[in-house]
């Protein structure tokens, strides 16, 4: 499959090149040249397919021939080494748990898939690729873990000092080998600005191949479409009108869900669940897309003021507001409402949700008021212990830390402190 730039000012390119470059030379996001729906028989026989078989059929057209089919099967097998269970909350609401991977956030699948693709492309290459990534918390851990030990790939993670949780910091600073953590004296926005500047810096890019590992990269974005198919496999016998409520920040996950729908997955509707950073919610009310500086919330992985994947969602709907607004609704909730939702889920349904999942739950409830015959699935995007303080304070119980977290908390933090772009450049060179 070839990819074009959504800015339309760069040449089309292969999957391999799109993965290695991350962003097109005209700064546009890459998008597949064509999308061929899967046959009806695929969805009718989904019960007889394993998760790996579903994933293979779903993503094959987007990555071959650059990744040969046999290699793709291995990559998928390796990527999907944990479960994606759906838990019933009420007759109308379920949750799809995406936190059973090594760093307990949904970004594990995309990061693992991308790492293995890049490792394959680079296996006979003497020039190393450097993955440069800024994180507000979850991305760094998932990328560090996914890329650990991948030959020919170095990973440099920038995170804001003192502004990620202890668990998140340990997840990104305790791996050795090809993973380096830079602790930036500044905010997440400062980290992101440094990364963006590095990609545009000729003295750097002439000396090294830099790429990004956030959801602008097609190899991190596309595998997320698996989740929606896995949920469908678990739910289609019980419910007809399945809608997904996706806690959204950069809108990569929900956009992948819409891609699954384009491939033929019978999904009735999508709901973008937002915290106070309500850019898309506002757009759906006013037709005006107005990026704003992000505001800090307790669901901090969704604190995004200009969601980068929204252009892909528009492209999937022919850049037509009417078409898009039939498929997508949005809701926005405050931290206060989110905390009440965590409380309600625990007290009434004995379910411990993290703040992101709780926002998804609230959006389900709003949607069901006017669509009582739908079955709404909210994505639980992180394990509640990743947001331990908020969750424990709210449910007034201690939560047992899972194995993955206990292991990492015992390890020693290693980071290099930096303050300026010049520090970053000196480190990379």
Ligand X SMILES: *Cc1c(COP(=O)(O)O)cnc(C)c1O
Residues classed as catalytic: 107
Residue 14's H or E segment, with its range, is: strand 13-14
Select from 145, 168, 248, 366 the one that contacts ligand X (CB under 6 A): 248
**Is residue 249 within the footprint of ligand X (CB under 6 A)?**
yes
Considering the complex, what minimum distance in angstroms separates the CB of residue 139 from ligand X? 7
Select from 22, 101, 146, 252 the one that contacts ligand X (CB under 6 A): 252
Binding span for ligand X by CB under 6 A among 159-167, 247-255, 281-289, 361-369: 247-255
What is the Cα–Cα distance from 5 to 23, expressed in whole angstroms?
Answer: 8
**Is residue 381 within the footprint of ligand X (CB under 6 A)?**
yes
Binding span for ligand X by CB under 6 A among 62-70, 200-208, 245-253, 406-414: 245-253
Q: Report the 10 Å Cβ neighbour count for 426.
A: 10
**Is residue 257 within the footprint of ligand X (CB under 6 A)?**
no
Task: Name the β-bridge partners of 274.
Answer: 332
Considering the complex, what minimum distance in angstroms separates the CB of residue 255 from ligand X? 8
Select from 79, 95, 217, 253 the one that contacts ligand X (CB under 6 A): 253
**Is residue 95 within the footprint of ligand X (CB under 6 A)?**
no
Write the binding mask 297 to 316 for ligand X: x where contact by CB under 6 A, - elsewhere. ----xx--------------
What is the Cα–Cα distance from 235 to 227, expressed in whole angstroms?
Answer: 12
Binding span for ligand X by CB under 6 A among 190-198, 241-249, 316-324, 334-342: 241-249
**Is residue 191 within the footprint of ligand X (CB under 6 A)?**
no
Rank residues 146 and 247 by Cβ distance to ligand X and give the closer one. Answer: 247
Q: Report the 10 Å Cβ neighbour count for 361.
A: 27
**Is residue 330 within the footprint of ligand X (CB under 6 A)?**
no
Considering the complex, what minimum distance in angstroms separates the CB of residue 143 from ligand X? 12
Binding span for ligand X by CB under 6 A among 77-85, 180-188, 243-251, 257-265: 243-251
**Is residue 251 within the footprint of ligand X (CB under 6 A)?**
yes
Binding span for ligand X by CB under 6 A among 4-12, 115-123, 146-154, 248-256: 248-256
User: Residue 379: phi, psi to the nearest 5?
Assistant: -85, 125
Q: What share of the chain is helix, strand, coil (3-state, %, to 5)?
A: 45, 15, 35
> Which two three-digit tokens encode residue 192?
């992101």
> Which two three-digit tokens encode residue 59?
């993503």
What is the Cα–Cα distance from 127 to 254, expressed in whole angstroms?
Answer: 35
Considering the complex, what minimum distance in angstroms separates the CB of residue 378 from ligand X? 11
Alpha helices in 287-395 (DSSP H): 310-316, 321-327, 335-349, 355-370, 388-395
Task: Name the β-bridge partners of 96.
Answer: 86, 379
Rank residues 105 and 345 by Cβ distance to ligand X and give the closer one. Answer: 105
What is the Cα–Cα distance from 112 to 121, expressed in whole angstroms?
Answer: 14
DSSP E strand stretches across 199-254: 209-212, 242-247
**54-to-72, 88, 268, 283 alpha-carbon distances in Å:** 12, 23, 20, 34
Which of 250, 253, 305, 251 lies closest to 276, judged by CA?
A: 305
Write the binding mask 205 to 224 for ligand X: x where contact by CB under 6 A, - elsewhere. ----------x---------
**Is residue 380 within the footprint of ligand X (CB under 6 A)?**
no
The residues binding ligand X (CB under 6 A) are 105, 107, 138, 215, 247-253, 301-302, 356, 381-382
């Amino acid at each position: 499959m070839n990819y074009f730039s959504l800015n339309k000012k760069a040449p089309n390119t292969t999957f391999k090149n799109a993965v290695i470059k991350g962003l097109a030379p005209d700064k546009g996001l890459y998008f597949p040249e064509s999308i061929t729906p899967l046959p009806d028989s695929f969805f009718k026989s989904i019960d007889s397919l394993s998760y790996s078989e579903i994933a293979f059929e779903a993503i094959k057209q987007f990555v071959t021939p650059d990744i040969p089919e046999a290699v793709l099967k291995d990559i998928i097998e390796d990527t999907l080494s944990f479960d994606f269970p759906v838990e019933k909350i009420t007759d109308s609401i379920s949750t799809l748990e995406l936190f059973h991977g090594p760093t307990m956030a949904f970004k594990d699948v995309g990061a693992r898939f991308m790492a293995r693709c890049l490792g394959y492309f680079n296996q006979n290459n003497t020039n190393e690729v450097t993955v440069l990534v800024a994180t507000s918390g979850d991305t760094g851990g998932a990328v560090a873990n996914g890329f650990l030990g991948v030959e020919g790939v170095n990973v440099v993670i920038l995170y804001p000092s003192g502004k990620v949780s202890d668990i998140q910091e340990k997840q990104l600073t305790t791996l050795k080998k090809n993973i380096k953590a830079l602790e930036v004296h500044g905010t997440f926005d400062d980290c992101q600005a440094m990364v963006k500047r590095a990609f545009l810096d000729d003295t750097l890019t002439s000396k090294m191949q830099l790429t990004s590992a956030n959801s602008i990269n097609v190899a991190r974005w596309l595998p997320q479409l698996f989740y929606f198919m896995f949920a469908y496999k678990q739910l289609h016998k019980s419910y007809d009108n399945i809608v997904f409520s996706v806690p959204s920040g950069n809108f990569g996950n929900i956009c992948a869900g819409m891609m699954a729908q384009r491939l033929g997955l019978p999904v009735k509707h999508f709901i973008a669940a937002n915290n106070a950073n309500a850019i898309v919610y506002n757009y759906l009310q006013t037709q005006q897309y107005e990026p704003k500086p992000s505001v800090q919330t307790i669901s901090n992985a969704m604190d995004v003021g200009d969601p980068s994947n929204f252009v892909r969602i528009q492209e999937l709907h022919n850049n037509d507001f009417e078409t898009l607004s039939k498929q997508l609704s949005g809701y926005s909730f405050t931290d206060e409402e989110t905390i009440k939702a965590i409380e309600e889920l625990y007290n009434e349904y004995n379910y411990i949700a993290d703040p992101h999942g709780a926002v998804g739950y609230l959006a389900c409830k709003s949607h069901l008021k006017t669509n009582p015959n739908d079955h709404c699935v909210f994505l639980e995007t992180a394990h509640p212990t990743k947001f331990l303080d908020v969750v424990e304070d709210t449910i007034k119980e201690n939560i047992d830390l899972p194995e993955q977290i206990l292991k990492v908390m015992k390890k020693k933090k290693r980071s290099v402190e930096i303050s300026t772009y010049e520090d970053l450049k000196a480190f990379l060179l």
